[in-house]
Amino acid sequence: MSDVVYSVSGMSCGHCESAITREVTAIPGVTSVKAVASTGLLTIDAEGPVDDDTVRAAVDEAGYELVGRA
């Protein structure tokens, strides 16, 4: 299992958290996702290494911007 924390800009509410969680959960190998609007942090647990570009694409699809690893 790997645990990766990212910083995301644009999250401001529970709807934002849900949108990001829905998109990132669809990434193969991801086992859990926690998006927190108040901190702007996205924590991903996965079965193996997580590809940053794949996470960036999922966050973009949800309508937010992945700043980078926190």
Which domain CATH number covers 41? 3.30.70.100
Check: pTM over 0.85? Answer yes or no.
yes
Half-sphere exposure of 48 (CA within 13 A, CB side): 4
Number of domains in the chain: 1
Q: What is the DSSP letter of 29?
A: T
Per-residue pLDDT of the chain (70 residues; tens, 9 = 90+): 679 999 999 999 999 999 999 999 999 999 999 999 999 999 999 999 989 999 999 999 999 999 999 9
Residue span of the structural domain in which 6 resides: 2-69
pLDDT at position 35 is: 98
Q: What is the pLDDT of residue 2?
A: 77
Show the tokens assigned to 59.
Answer: 């966050």
Positive/negative CA dihedral, 57, 63, 65, 66: negative
